[in-house]
Structure 1
Amino acid sequence: MLDALNAQLSRLQAHPFYEGRLPRSVASAAEFAERVPLMTRAELVAEMNRPGYGAFAPAVPPVRVHLTPMGASLVPILQSAADLRAIVAACDQHLDACGIGPGDVCMVTFGYHLFVAGLFYQTQMEARGVACIAHGPGETERAARVAQQCGVTVLAGNPSHALKLIEAGCPVPRVFFAGGEAFTGNAALYARVREAMPGTLLIDSYSLSECLPVARTFPGGTGVHVFDELLYAEVIDPDTGMPVAEGERGELVLTHLKKEVQPLVRYRTGDLTVLERTAPVHGRTVSLPRVVFGRADSMVKIKGVKVYPSELKTVLLGVEGATGAYRLVVGSKEHGGDHLTLQVEGAVEGSVIEAIAERFKRQTLIHADAIEIVGKLEDGTLVEDQRRQST
């Protein structure tokens, strides 16, 4: 990995955005983190909104321009021919590991408009020699009929929509590629898909439009394994920007290793995850065992532990009776210390509340002093910090 990092650092010495910002080489991952500055999405958006894409003006003509929403902007994401070849080669190894090849028929039900997944899956499948049906989302009854007619063996799409397709008569695929919503991180949804597709190889994935692909489930692996021939992954403390120890949760930071146009170095994704090193799984040794489970937004320290409010959405995924809305209320105990109440919207009772408490502790590493079930939370505030109100 160090050789690949140094090769990219060398290539980017004269890049208009990185010139003067990067060392020519580093001797270790620690030195890379120390000497190479972090990059934000705001910086990327600012450059791409300048005439000719600013400092990211491509040195070679792009062959694909994808527009992706970032805040109020539609930001162009550029791929050169070499970039697409690198992506296809990495995906080809994954498809080979999944036993997918000529003779398979893949239906893609991801969107093709302002959502890169549709075209992304079609490109890799066609390069592999797989017949690809570019159906897109919606039209469930029609999609199921087309899948029957064409003998679909591979399905790529949103898990909730895939369940509707199966109910409508779509053949159970041999391999299902999930995306667009939490999958392995949503135990209830995953169980429903497993029940509907009992013999299917289920693939979870994580990607960004700016970094495509990032990671996928590999047969025999845990979580999703990073395509580390394309990307170098780090996890940092979102507050300090410093790397965290392996297995600790933090913000995912990605560096392109081969990207020819629009290369990103130490790019802050804003996504919370955990990174682990593993024995090689089809050649890959970096795993995100819990995929991503929240955003590095508005951190609040409770009982000495950093809690990121958006990460709590995974605690309530699939919980019967819960709407998914929640609030943290943080106060002070009479004799010192923090008192934490988790308010959950919905109609939740008994053992389900205990399960929420256990999930909450496992996710945040602290316990809630109280869990209140509320019929309706009147606003979308995720944290009510009463400690600040009393000072």
Structure 2
Amino acid sequence: MLDLLNAQLEKLHAHPFYAGRLPRSVASTAEFAARVPLLSRAEFVAEMARPGYGAFAPQVPPVRVHLTPMGASLVPILHSAADLRAIETACGQHLDACGIGPGDVCMVTFGYHLFVAGLFYQTQMEARGVACIPHGPGETERAAQVARQCGVTVLAGNPSHALKLIEAGCPVPRVFFAGGEPFSGNEALYARVRAAMPGTLLIDSYSLSECLPVARTFPGGSGVHVFDELLYAEVIDPDTGAPLPEGERGELVLTHLQKTLQPLVRYRTGDLTVLERTAPVHGRRVSLPRVVFGRVDAMVKIKGVKVYPSELKSVLLGVSGATGAYRLVVGTKASGGDHLTLRVEGAPTDMDVIAERFKRQTLIHADAIEALDKLGEGPLVEDNRRQTA
């Protein structure tokens, strides 16, 4: 990995955006983290908003331009021919690992309008000799009929929509590529898909439009494994920017290792995850065992532990009776210390599951968990400690 990082540093040393920011080489990944500044999404968006894309002006002609929403802006994501070939090569190795190749028929039910996934899956399949049906989302009955007519063996799409396709008579695929919603992190949805596709190889994935692809399920691995020939992944403390040890949750930071247009170095994704290094799994050694479970947002420290409010969405995924709405209420115990109440909207059937998931996710226990018919308007975190201090 260090060789790949240094090769990229050497290439980008004179890049208009990075000139004066990057060393030519580093002796270790620790030195890389210490000497190379973090890049925020706001900085990236601001540069792309300048005439001609500012310092990210393409140095070779782009052959594909995606437009991705970032805040109030639609930001162009540029790919050169070399960028697309690198993506296709990496994804092709994943398709090989999944036993997908000529003779397979893939139906893509992801969207194609702005949403990058549709064309992304289509091109990687076609590059490996797989017949591809670019159907897009919706029209369930027709899609199921097309899948039967064409003998679909590989399906790529939203898991909830895939379940409807199976109910409508779509053949059970040999391999299913999931995306567009939490999948392996949503135990209930994953179980429903497994029941509907009992013999299917289920692939979860994580990507960003500006970093495509990031990670996927590889046969024999756990979680999703990073395409570390394309990206160097770190996890940092979102508050301090300091690198975190393996196994600690924090913000994912990515560095392109091959991209020629819009190369990003130490790019803050804003996504919360946990990173682990593993024995090689089809050549990849970096895993996100729980994929991504929240966004870096208004962090609050409770009982001495950093809690990110959006990460709690994963606690309620698939819990029967819960609407998914929640609020943390933090107060002070009479004896001192923090008192934490988790309020959940709806009528959840298993509060013990919520309590166990909450502790596993945040590493602290809730002093009380309350179910309310309606939470009403209000913040995700109601911090009353300031009022009692």
TM-score range, shorter chain: over 0.9
Shift of 1:348: 2.0
Q: Deviation per CA, 1:84-143, whole angstroms, max 9, x where unpaired?
A: 000000000000000000000000000000100000000000000000000000000000
Shift of 1:335: 1.3
CA distance in 1, matches of 2:327, 2:214: 31
1:281 aligns with 2:281: yes
User: Which of 374, 382, 385 in structure 1 is aligned with 2:383?
Assistant: 385
Taking the TM superposition and a 5 Å limit, the aligned residue runs for 1:70-85 are: 70-85=70-85
1:191 aligns with 2:198: no
The secondary structure found in structure 2 opposite 1:207 is: strand
Match of 1:10 in 2: 10
Task: Report the TM-score, using the length of structure 2 for normalisation.
Answer: 0.99
Q: Deviation per CA, 1:272-293, whole angstroms, max 9, x where unpaired?
A: 0000000000000000000000
1:24 aligns with 2:18: no
Q: Deviation per CA, 1:200-244, whole angstroms, max 9, x where unpaired?
A: 000000000000000000000000000000000000000000001
Structure 1: 5+ residue runs without aligned partners?
A: none
Shift of 1:390: 2.9
Q: Deviation per CA, 1:21-45, whole angstroms, max 9, x where unpaired?
A: 0011000010000000000000111
Shift of 1:380: 4.6
CA distance in 2, matches of 1:379, 1:12: 48
Q: Which amino acid aligns with 1:77?
A: I
Match of 1:35 in 2: 35
Match of 2:143 in 1: 143
Q: Figure out how many residues of one structure are paired with residues of the other and give that number.
A: 389
Match of 1:364 in 2: 362
Q: CA RMSD in A?
A: 0.6
Shift of 1:3: 0.4
CA contact (8 A) 2:332 2:388 kept: no
Q: Which amino acid aligns with 2:78?
A: L
Q: Deviation per CA, 1:289-329, whole angstroms, max 9, x where unpaired?
A: 00000001100000000000000000000001000000000
Structure 2: 5+ residue runs without aligned partners?
A: none
Match of 1:56 in 2: 56
The secondary structure found in structure 2 opposite 1:213 is: strand
Shift of 1:175: 0.2
Match of 1:175 in 2: 175
Match of 1:373 in 2: 371
Shift of 1:388: 1.7
Q: Which amino acid aligns with 1:224?
A: V
CA distance in 2, matches of 1:354, 1:342: 13
Shift of 1:145: 0.4
CA distance in 2, matches of 1:385, 1:23: 43
Q: Deviation per CA, 1:232-275, whole angstroms, max 9, x where unpaired?
A: 00000000000011000000000000000000000000000000
CA distance in 2, matches of 1:345, 1:114: 33
Match of 2:68 in 1: 68
CA distance in 2, matches of 1:49, 1:194: 44
CA distance in 1, matches of 2:172, 2:45: 41
Structure 1 segments, 4+ long, off by >2 Å, are none
Q: Which moved more, 1:207-216 or 1:44-53?
A: 44-53
The secondary structure found in structure 2 opposite 1:7 is: helix
Q: Which amino acid aligns with 2:58?
A: P
CA contact (8 A) 2:343 2:369 kept: yes
CA distance in 2, matches of 1:189, 1:318: 7
Question: Would the alpha carbon gap of residues 192 and 380 (structure 1) be closer, same or farther in structure 2, given more than 3 Å must change?
Answer: farther
Task: Report the TM-score, using the length of structure 1 for normalisation.
Answer: 0.99
Q: Which amino acid aligns with 1:244?
A: L
Q: Deviation per CA, 1:333-386, whole angstroms, max 9, x where unpaired?
A: 01110000000000124xx10111011000000000000101101115100000
Q: Which amino acid aligns with 2:377?
A: D
Taking the TM superposition and a 5 Å limit, the aligned residue runs for 1:1-391 are: 1-349=1-349, 352-391=350-389
